[in-house]
Each structure stands twice: as structure tokens, then as C-alpha cells.
Structure 1
Amino acid sequence: MLTKRGQQWPAATAQDTESRRIRAKVATARAQTDQLKESAPVKTPRKPRSKPPAPALAARDLLAAEELIQRVLETEDQKLLSADVDLGPFKLQRILAQALKASNRPHGKKLVASTIGGWSSKEYEIHFAPHFRDFVEVQSVPVPERVGKYHPAVKAFMADKRWQYVTKEHVPRAARILQAIASEATRRGIEVMLPDDRKPNRYGYLSNPTHGNLWLRTDYDLYGIEIKEISGKGAKKFSDLGMTWQQRQKLPSWIERRGWEFISTGKLQINQGTSLDGYGTQKLSDGRGTLLEEKLSEVFARFDTWLLEQAERKRLEEIAEERRQRNWEAAMENAKADYFEAERWKYFVALSEEDEKLRKYEAFLAKAKQAIEHLPSKQRFAASGFLSEVDAVLRERNPLTSPEHFLPEISEPKPEDLKPYLRGWSPHGSHRH
């Protein structure tokens, strides 16, 4: 019995022939591809670049930093533009950091890079800037084993269990460290703010900072120091732990607000600066072989460096303020001179315009005198008297016949009168616009 394909033999034969031709063509193409693959050279995997060890990298950067310092020192104004510097594979910030350790760095100076040409510019200038850390003497800060009497600010830290940022078992150690800092600050004559000093102002807000454990009063600003415990890794969210709202409320506020469990490590960290929430906060913590108690001298070294920086900033601000005041006073003097000059010119222009009007009136007066000649004698006499009065008024008003008009009396200008001549300055002071 024939199949359906056998019953369609003539048509099926033509289709099969075309199908066999296409399969043969595909097989030939695959064979050629396999042959090309076999004849192609075998690519060996590229070896990853070997990074030099950290000590060798630091030594290389230090050498590059010393060369850069030498180039800056050899310039006339001790400045180098980025166009004149080819750092090659070195990174600028890494070299600037190593420049602090360079043997040829001038005492009290450090190498910095400042952008020039606007915020979007990629050009910068390498020059020296004050390095106040060179002028700071590091002194050891002892930490007592036992404390007989705590500073009121430290007492406040120990009493406020809600916001200690340290687990219960490590609070005594944190308190001894804070007491050591408070005692050293008092020994140096630095006032430590008392907790009662933080009083609300008339708007209900605290006029002094609320964060931080110790705040030191200075001539420039308040300087804060706080201590916190570093959390361990692997903490989970409260929701993942299945904690209820009632269970969370029993936790200290500083842990509850995190939203994550706190894994105690016992490692403490000190944050210091004028704003403990900002990027300028400096940190110091327990190390592998060094406890935080052995690093408290660094806390005061940073504080002393900050004091020198603030003193320099204030000095520069005073210089800038004096320069601004002098420029404002000079601008006021120039504005007054310009004002009087403009007012005198306006007065002169007014006299000139008055003279032109008077000339017109004088010409009309001459015609009037001729016109009254035809009047009867009695009327001519009366008209002549009137024109004589007009002639006297014209002579009085004419600056050419009354030279006292060329002595203008200009009153002192008001502040608003000087605004057009101050070129952006305010007549009310150097800081007002």
C-alpha cells in the first residue's frame, strides 16, 4: 500500500531534490568554518597586570612627590600650572598625600592643588599652603583607671541611657575616656560647656548644639567631641527579626532609631569637629594593636591644629574686611566727586538753556520797543515803563550780565543720590547691597 507521500511521487521528488541541495550547501559551509577554526592560531589568555606591592607603590609616589616639590621650589613664584606638569601614571591626590612625608618639604608648608578658571575647568595650580600640624606639639593624655568625680558633661553622658551610642557594658570605659579629655581640656585652660548651658532661645530651639558629648568653647566656634561604639557586621533589620513595636520601644533610642539590631564589638570611636554631622568630622578609633586610650594625644593635636587654622582664617578675614572697607570708602569718595561733577554740569547746562531762552526774549523785547513807537504818547510812556521792567528782569537773569550765577551752590548728596555712581556698592556700608 502506498503512503501519501508515495501517492504524490512526482511532486515529492522535486521537493526532495531541493531539500537535499540546501542540506548539502549547509554542510559544506559548516565544514569550511570548522577548518578555519582549526587553522587559526590559539590565543593564549592575557595575564593580569601585576600591581606593585603597597610599600613599593608608596616609595614610588614619595619619590615623585619629592621631584614635584623640587620643581615648585625652583619656580619664581613657587607655582606650577597643570599644563606644565606631566604626572604620567601617578595620581595627583596620592602624590599630594605623600608630599607631607617628603624630606624636602618646607617646614610649615604643604603641597596643594587649586582649580583655576571656574567650576567646570580641569586646569589647576600646584602651590604651597600653610601646614599648621608642623607647629603642634603632641602631648600625652593619661586615662584614669578610676574616676573619683566626673565632669558634669560626662555625668550627663552616663545618665542619658537613651542616647549613649555605646552598649551598657562599655559605658564605663567610654566615660573614662571622656573624663580624660575633659580633664586635659580644663588643664589647658579650655572651657568645657556644661549641660545647663544648652538653653532654648526665644523661638524654642536650643541655641547650642544638641549632639556630641563634650563641647569646647573657643574664640572662634564650639568644637565638639563625641564617642560611639562601632557596630559589628551581619546586623539584621528589626522586621526580619520579627520584633514587635512594643519590643522596639524597650530598646535604647539610639538603637531603636537605627531600625537594625546593634551587634556590640566593644570598639570605640571618637568623632570630633565643629559639626559632628558633616563631612568635616575627623574620626579616631580602636585599632588592632592600639586602643583609643593611647590615641587621645592625637585628639588634642587635631584640636590644636584646628585652632591654628581658625586663627589664620580669622586673620585673613580681617585683612579682607579691611581691604573691603578701604575699597568702599574709596568708592564713596569717588561717587561724591562724580556726583558733584555731574551736578555742576547739570547746573551749567541749565544756565545755557536759560541763556538761549533769554536771547529769544531779548529779541522779542527789541521788536516790542520798535512797535510801541506808533502808540500815542501817553500809552507809549506806559508801555515803555513796562518794557523797562522786563529789560531789568532779563539783565538780572542773564548769567552773562550777572556773573554770580557762575558760583553754583550744590548741597551735600543723600545716600540715595550716590547710588548711580557707586558701581554696585551700597551707600549704607561695605556689606550692604
Structure 2
Amino acid sequence: MTEKSLAVLACRPEQSRGRRYPAETSQTRSDFQRDRDRILHAGAFRKLQYKTQVFVIHEGDYYRTRLTHSLEVAQIARSIARALELNEDLAEACALAHDLGHPPFSHAGEDALHAAMEPYGGFDHNEQTFRIVTELERLYAAYDGLNLTWETLEGIVKHNGPLGGAGQRPVRASIAAFDAEWSLELGGFPSAEAQVAALADDIAYNSHDVDDGLRAGLFSVSDLECVPGVGDIFAQLRRQFPDLAPRRLRYEGVRRMITLLVDDLIAETRRRAIEAGLDSPDAVRTIGRPVVGFSEPLREQEKLLRAFLFERMYRHFRVNRTRRKARQVVRDLFECYLAEPECLPDEWRDRAENSVDKIAAARLVGDYIAGMTDSYALKEHKKLFDLYSIVDT
């Protein structure tokens, strides 16, 4: 899609508010394309290959990881953005970046790391994503972070909505400090592209968790048929293809789920944009409500599906047993590194020992653990706590 064919709501790279550190323009890529590419080349993005989505890596190599999930979100976001004539590159950049801050073991790891760090300011994967792209990635000679455009940073920070107001998520410390120097207009909604990326995330994890849950045997297609929407899809499929093999049944059902959700989102977003008379990207930010969204019937169906997945998958005893062990691994590592920084690798040890206070040391330990993959965290735990394990020199 050429820039000339973009909708009036779309963000245009030539009208970007720029980067925190001025950079020469590229002759071959737009600023939003460069943002996408910088995210793809970041070390934190590569690590997503070995970070849990729901199932820990050693449970099987065919389940989703944070990397495959992020790629699926990016594909869905780009398709929706194209249909709505929004900027596909910005939507894709926001989608690819949205999970960079997740620690190992998914939400179990985040819960444990937040609990351990609560006396020192806590841990939040959205804030960690922001810190990764603004300071923790150290690839470029002239600055820390990826030096992304204002629009991509805004999308990363506010992809779930405004911050800081009544009933809104709080503004975390590092985001507040950055915003004081270069305002991201935290109280407003993000661009339509960022909103698309956020709901592409919902579409991806709902549909693909159904796929992974069926594959793992945590529930059956018959169980799903009590859930409005998705149940209707699988019931129709079984009537239409009564002898369809389970693998094909799963794939076809999930494919139809994604199509249903994407089509509904596109139609509802067009309706909202026309109804509100939106005529610019800034109008999207100041309207006071999301412009991208599902229709009310689909929103209700999504809530029921989430409730089903929560009960039958996320709280399944097999998942809970793994989550319990994952939380223990993270707790043990944090307590060990904070109490005995000499157990950290040299660079991290020196920085921990030279921290200005306990809060800074705890934050550094949290950064180190959050950057671990599942397998690395398990290996580190074995080295530190298994008395019969040989420690690498």
C-alpha cells in the first residue's frame, strides 16, 4: 500500500514526531519500517524463541512460544491495518514489540518476579518492554535503546489504553521519567495502528490457545461446543466434515475463529470511525474512547471464551504444577542474586555491587532474570541449587 492510499486516520512516517536522538533518514525504508527492523534485530526479540507462552519449552516443541505468538500477532495486525488503510509498518512494529519484556515462564514468571521485587518497585512486563527499547538494548554506538520513533514508543506504552487517569493503569517509574523529558501524551489513546496491534494480540492468543489446549488434551472439541461463537464454529465443522481428522479439525476451526474476529473488528472499526467523524491520527488520540474494537456480541463471546480458557486451560492442574515450579525457580534466583551478587556473571556482578542502593541492585537483578529464556533459567537454577550439578567456570 502506498502512503497516498492511506486513510485519514493513518499515521504517516513523513509526519512522524521523530526520534529522541536525531538520525539520518533512509533512502530505502520509511521510519516505521526501520522501527520494525530494529525490533526484529534486537537481542530481546531473539530470546522470545525460548520463552513460554503457556507451555514451558521442555513440554513440547510444537506449542506456541513468545516468538511464534509475536509473529502471529504481527501477521494479524498487518492484515487488519491493510484492510483499514492504516499504516501496516507501524502496526507491525507495535505488534512485534509488545511482548519483549516478558520474563521466562510467562505470567507465572512475571507474578513471581513482581512479588520478589515488590519492595523495590515491582515488575511489570509492559514497563520492561519500554525499558528494553529505550535503554536496555545496547547495540548502537551513539545511544542506549533502539531509538524508535515517537509513534512506535507511544504504541508500546499505550497499546492497552491511556495511563495515569482514574480507572487507568498507573504510570510506572521509568515511563514517567522518560515522559517528563519527551512527552508521550500518556493520558490519551494511542494511534489506530497501536490499537489494532493490541486487539490482534487478543485474537492471536485466544484462537491459538484453543489450538494448543486441544493439542495438549486439556479439553476437547466437544467441551468447546458449550462456548458461544467458537462452539458454533466447531459444531458446524463437525456437521460439514464428520470424518475430518483431529489435526485438520483444530486448524480449520482456529482459522475460522480468526476470520470471524478479524472481519468483525474491521466492520466495527469502520462503523466507529464514520460515526465519530474522525479525520486525523490526532483525532483518534483525543476522542476519549477506542476507535478499534469488536462489536458488542463478539465482545461478549470473547469474554465467555476467556472464562472457558481460564478454567479449563490456565488453571488446569498440569499447567498449575508447572507454574508452581516456575515461580519457585524465579524466586530462588532473585533471592540468590540479590543476597550474593558474586553469583552473577562478571559484568552484572560489578554493576550490582556498584549500585547506588538496594533498589537499584534489585532492579538490575530483575533485569538479568527477565532477560533469561526458560531453558537458561532452569540451567542457572540447577547450577545454583543442585548440590550435585557441576558449575561451569
Q: What TM-score do you get using the length of structure 1 for normalisation?
A: 0.21
Higher normalized contact order (CA 8 Å, seq sep 6+, divided by chain length)? 2
Instruction: Indicate the structure with greater helix content.
Output: 2
Instruction: Indicate the structure with greater strand content.
Output: 1
> Based on CA coordinates, which of the two structures has the bigger radius of gyration?
1
Q: What TM-score do you get using the length of structure 2 for normalisation?
A: 0.23
